[in-house]
Amino acid sequence: MMQTAVMLCPHREAIAARALDLLVDGLRVAIARRGVGHLALTGGSSASALFARLCGDPRTERVDWGAVHVWQGDERFVPWSDPGSNWSAARRGWLDHPDGPHIPASRLHPVPVDRAIAEGRDPAWAAEQYATALERSLPRARGVPVLDVILLGVGSDGHILSAFPGSAPVREERRVALAVDAPTHIEPHVARVTLAPLLLRAAGVVLVMVPGAAKAGIIAECFGGFRDPDRWPAQLAILPNAVWMLEPGSAAGL
């Protein structure tokens, strides 16, 4: 198993605070080097505390947000009006918040599921459009598009992004974004569009936030020494450029 950084934080809010520090640092380094930074958001509950800190925390003032592009790690194939939309959650929790940093609309890059649904297109079309936008906009290293900061959570089944156990994204080595059939083992049972985990290897920093004792068993399996990403996709984020932020509950099995 590759080495990775594991940070033990006392509680959920401390995870969000440390994630904010690392996010700010990662974007500042990227902007200093290239004049632009690329951030990919995670969905689910893992990001909610971090989104709250991005609204009004003085540390956010260290970033030139006008130079930041915001992408999605994955999205459910539902309209943005649906309460299950990850993009709508990000907008409510951070991007449209009056205390949040202003990022020009031209630098916000949601997965085009809303357009796909309105035009009667399928998730594969949305994935192709998203992949094209990524390929055109991101710098490259070793032939792979580079995101400077990628936020991740870990699902109760060990998934990251929408790379579920045994699904195609786990083994993808060519496409940077792809459609995923609706999972039957975990809710919500809707199709997704996801970044391919191969992008994690080229990222500036990958921040994996795992609060809560409910994930203790999954974390123990991921770090247990037996590598099988088909069964535990989160193992694909055990990388030298990743920081796993746990609390005593989620780290209890280590």
For 6-19, what is the mean pLDDT?
A: 96
Look at residue 151 in the predicted model and tell me its pLDDT.
98
Domain 23-234 in CATH 3.40.50.1360? The answer is: yes
Look at residue 47 in the predicted model and tell me its pLDDT.
85
Burial class of residue 128, CB neighbours in 10 A (0-12, 13-18, 19+): middle
> Distance between CA 149 and CA 146 in Å, rounded?
9
Residue-averaged pLDDT of the chain: 95
**Model confidence over 47-65: pLDDT tens digits?**
889 999 999 999 999 999 9
Domains of the chain, by residue range, sit at 23-234
**Model confidence over 127-155: pLDDT tens digits?**
999 999 999 999 999 889 999 999 999 99
pLDDT category at 225 given cuts 50, 70, 90 is confident
For 230-242, what is the mean pLDDT?
A: 97
Look at residue 176 in the predicted model and tell me its pLDDT.
97
pTM above 0.95, yes or no: yes
Look at residue 1 in the predicted model and tell me its pLDDT.
56
For 88-95, what is the mean pLDDT?
A: 94
**Model confidence over 159-213: pLDDT tens digits?**
999 999 999 999 999 999 999 999 999 988 999 999 999 999 999 999 999 999 9
